[in-house]
Amino acid sequence: MIHKQDRRLRVGVLGCGPIAQFAHLESCVKASNADLYAICDA
């Protein structure tokens, strides 16, 4: 059985510009319950 505190958030980021680099990715690294799952930049 998976408890709520054991659940992980898988994050995907579309676009790797400054907002992604300095906000989204940094927040994902700091979050204890999140994993950076995918990144896509065109």
Q: What is the pLDDT of residue 29?
A: 86
Report H helices in the chain.
18-19, 25-30
Counting Cα atoms < 13 Å in the Cβ hemisphere of 34 gives 13
Domain range summary for the chain, segments of one domain joined by +: 4-40
- 1-42, pLDDT tens digit by residue? 667 667 889 999 999 999 988 888 888 889 989 999 999 998
Residues 6+ apart with CB under 8 A from 17: none
